[in-house]
Amino acid sequence: MTADHADRDGVVVYWRPMCPFCIRLRLRLRFTRLRYTEVNIWRDPEAAELVRLIADGNETVPTVTVAGRGMVNPSIGELMEAVRAHAPHALPKAG
């Protein structure tokens, strides 16, 4: 996945194993029923490159893209606000 191939419409969570911030965000996301993709940057060098582009040269995770907009280590509230504003189709259907 290169910067050109990042999901421009949805939500992508870039993470790495043993990252406590990633664990916390990913756990909280599971309770939202939000539709999103997870990418382990240790297994995908191009994803790691994208994270560095977003995070000023650092591999800071979790990094999340919402409709192509990068967020570095967002809170669940910040992430859900960005989804409501830029990718509402990723929210769970009512009912």
The CATH number covering residue 19 comes to: 3.40.30.10
- Flag whether 90 is in a domain: no
State how far the alpha carbon of 75 is from the alpha carbons of 16, 42, 60, in Å: 17, 22, 14
- Flag whether 78 is in a domain: no
pLDDT in tens, 49-66: 999 999 999 999 999 999
Side by side, the strands of the sheet bearing 69-72 are 37-40, 11-15, 63-66, 69-72
Q: Is the pLDDT at 84 greater than 80, yes or no?
A: yes
- Flag whether 93 is in a domain: no
- Flag whether 77 is in a domain: no
Choose among 89, 93, 72, 94: nearest CA to 11: 89
Q: Which amino acid is at 68?
A: G
By the 8 A CB rule, do 62 and 23 touch? no
pLDDT in tens, 20-39: 999 999 999 999 999 999 99
**Mean pLDDT (the chain, rounded):** 92
Number of separate domains in the chain: 1
Name the residue range of residue 16's domain: 3-71
